[in-house]
Amino acid sequence: MNWLNLSELENLAKKQIEPTAFDYIASGANDEITLNNNVEAYKKIQLLPRRLSSNANPITKINIIGQDMSYPIIIAPTAFHGLANKKAENATAQAAQQTDTTMVLSTLSNTTIEDAAQSNANMWFQLYIFKDKKITLELIKKAESSNYKALVITIDAPILGKRERDIRNEFHLPNHLSIANLTEHMQEAELGQRKSASSLEQFFKEQLDNSLSWKDIDWLSSQTKLPILLKGILHPDDAKLALQAKVSGIIVSNHGGRQLDTAISTIEALPGIAKIINKEIPLLIDGGIRRGSDILKAIALGADAVLIGRPIIWGLADDGINGIKDVINFLRDELKQSMQLVGCKNINDLTAEIIRKTTNQDT
């Protein structure tokens, strides 16, 4: 491992990934305000440690939707791992298995549902809902038959956010990569050689259902026995509706700052949503986590676990399977260190009492 923190790792990855591909991975919507705020908001949260707590071996075990996990770190669904490494999501799944981590495979993966499952990792599947419901059902059935343990439904992308770097670069997948799970449903030009605009934007317009409502969540629930988690909730009222829909969990997410710019950062949205959820269902969060202390803060403010996105891709680019393992181990070790320094013996005991209250933070 030739880096000390995830900022250094990002710089290393930037040198190894083709520039337009790196822009796709790193960019956010419009002025990238939300993208940056996701990271900066964690830095503004101050901790109030307790002393003499005798916590030489902090316990990080959790249980999410009936699944035991050694620590509250999950690999977030991110598209096109093949842009970072030729083994693509197969490498990521193997790293998840070797570190006892859960991986959420993206609909927009370069590896099929079936191939990624060969890793024997604990796998969830992230699902976009298509205009053609037959495609949606086909993906669900593949996930079920491949022993995936949950569905993560992305609900914050009725259309694609304006990602100016992708538009400027006219981003498209290189010829050797495809959306592996959708190859038979896509025309040859889609995400191929289209040069007039971002082909990803074109894909969203042509394939995904932009008229989603809570009725669609009810429909999905009737089509599968897998637990359903909703990814993309930021407003407390939507958290109330998620409870009414009887989903199995929600993920506080702004799509990594890639959809609506100037949307609230996820860690700032978390406390208000945690108040509504009140531990009735698992509450997860993604976006901007770069330190073990960030994980500590998220758990203290009401999350049950966190999802890690871009740093996983940076690790994949830097050193394949081992690079991802380094990222996970880095965050896990810093989390344990932060628990020791803040005076917490068990991750499940963390509360907002360790967070310094400020006038602009709803805790």
Per-residue tens of pLDDT for the chain, all 363 residues: 899 999 999 999 999 999 999 999 999 999 999 999 999 999 999 999 999 987 889 999 999 999 999 999 999 999 999 999 999 999 999 999 999 999 999 999 999 999 999 999 999 999 999 988 999 999 999 999 999 999 999 999 988 899 999 999 989 899 899 999 988 776 544 544 444 445 667 777 778 888 889 999 999 999 999 999 999 999 999 999 999 999 999 999 999 999 999 999 999 999 999 999 999 999 999 999 999 999 999 999 999 999 999 999 999 999 999 999 999 999 999 999 999 999 999 999 999 999 997 645 444
Question: What single string gives the DSSP state of each residue in 29-45?
Answer: STT-HHHHHHHHHHHTP
CB-facing half-sphere around the CA of 21: CA atoms within 13 A:
19
Question: For residue 11, what are the contacts with CB-CB under 8 A and spacing of at least 6?
Answer: none
Buried b / exposed e over 345-357, threshold 16 CB at 10 Å, is eebeebebebbee
Secondary structure E strands in the chain = 62-64, 67-69, 73-75, 102-105, 122-127, 151-154, 228-233, 249-252, 283-286, 305-308
6-354 belongs to CATH 3.20.20.70? yes
What token pair was written down for 143? 């996930």
Sign of dihedral through CA atoms 176, 181, 185, 190? negative
CB-CB contact of 303 with 252 (8 Å):
yes
CA distance 354 to 237: 27
**Whole-angstrom distance, CA of residue 320 vs CA of residue 326:** 10
Query: Which residue has tokens 């030489």?
Result: 56
231-268 burial string, b = 16+ CB within 10 Å, else e?
Answer: bbbbebebbebbeebebbbbbbbbbbbbbbbebbbbbb
Known catalytic residue at 235:
no
In which residue are the tokens 């320094």 written? 341
pLDDT confidence of residue 199 = 62
